[in-house]
Amino acid sequence: MRLRNLVATALALLISIVLLLQPQAAAAAEKPAFVSFDFPLAGVLDTEATGITPSGVIVGRYSSPDYVGHGFILDKGEFRSIDVPGSTFTDVTWINAAGVIVGNYGSPDGTHKGFVLANGRFTTVAYPGNPETFALYGISDGGNIVGPVCDCIWSTADGFLDRHGEFSLINFPGAMGTYPTMLINPGLVVGAYLDQSSHYHGFLMKDGNFTTIDYPGSTFTWFTGVNPKGTMVGFYMDATGQHGLEYDLNTDRFLVVDVPVPGSSSSEVNGINRQGDIVGRYIGPDGRTHAYFMRAGSRETDE
């Protein structure tokens, strides 16, 4: 009798554990490791995902059939275009945890200007004294912004930091051009720079000190973002083409990120959230550019 009771108790416990785990298993099954997607517009030319929040809201850009660039937001499975009123094009580059979006747009006077979109309101951001603020690339959860500013010459752009209206320059020592792309706070900024031989390198600026970070053997490295855990993302080029890239500041390890689509090329990681989910773009076997989402934990780390 005692043995029968023990077996019954164990069976009941096992059933309760299975029932407890079922919702978690179902939730995991509903969240695929990789998703390729396009903006839902007939004849859309290309789609690129550029940023993702901890809650999974994705932003990016797409080109309509008339070759005009637009921003987009993807929230709970629904797409919405983002266009600065009166602009000739709109490019969305990042979204922070609070849902504040940054990017750049074309002004009717032919110049590029940066913008912030918060609570449904667009605000233009321009570096003081320079009408050509090429782009706002990244915004921290604290609302600090980075990007490049130039006099219409991309190769000699200066990087800048905007601390709620207080502007300062960020220039890699000795570089022709500096392009900060994302920051955790004013003391930790990542991006790329162009050296005097016209080669692009990734960089980290931490507490005012600059460090070059290049994927080994690459001819071009560009970092597009970083999350609070210290994972930098971007892309690099070598003899085999362009590949997506992750770099862990804590372990000093690189990870090559190529999308699992046969026949695809030119992968690029653009955005990462605090959990490690990433978004980006790639060229498919159809020759078109597609956006993608890849869940954290679905990638292996290179040595």
Domain holding 113: CATH number?
2.120.10.30
239: in domain: yes
Length of the chain: 303
Contact 81, 68 (CB under 8 A): no
The band of 79, judged by pLDDT with boundaries at 50, 70 and 90, is: very high
> Is the overall model pTM greater than 0.85, yes or no?
yes
The predicted model gives 51-58 an average pLDDT of: 98
Separation CA 43–CA 144 (nearest Å):
37
Q: What are phi and psi of 274, to 5 degrees?
A: -65, -25
User: Is position 299 within any domain?
Assistant: no
- Using an 8 Å Cβ cutoff, are 80 and 92 in contact? no
| Most confidently predicted of 17-21, 112-116, 284-288 | 284-288
Model confidence at 83, pLDDT cuts 50, 70, 90, reads very high
At 1, the pLDDT band (50, 70, 90 cuts) reads very low
Number of domains in the chain: 1
Nearest alpha carbon to residue 134 among 146, 143, 118, 123? 146
What does the pLDDT read at residue 9?
37
The DSSP code for 77 is: T
Is 7 inside a domain boundary? no
> 66 lies in a domain?
yes
Reduced to 3 states (helix: H, G, I; strand: E, B; else coil), residue 117 is strand
Does the pLDDT value for residue 25 go beyond 90? no
> Is 300's pLDDT higher than 60?
no
The mean per-residue pLDDT over the stretch 11-38 comes to 52
Is residue 285 pLDDT above 80, yes or no?
yes
Does residue 274 form part of some domain?
yes
Q: Is the pLDDT of residue 100 over 50?
A: yes
Half-sphere exposure in the Cβ direction for 175 (13 Å, CA)? 26
128 or 118: whose pLDDT is higher? 118
| Closest among 55, 132, 52, 137 to 92, alpha carbons compared | 137
Q: What is the pLDDT of residue 109?
A: 83
**Domain housing 105:** 44-294
Show the tokens assigned to 226: 């970083």
In a domain, 50, yes or no: yes
Whether 250 is in a domain gets the answer yes
Determine the straight-line distance between the first and last CA of the chain, rounded to whole angstroms. Answer: 57
Residue 268 lies in a domain: yes
pLDDT one-digit tens code per residue, 156-200: 999 999 999 999 999 999 999 999 999 999 999 999 999 999 999
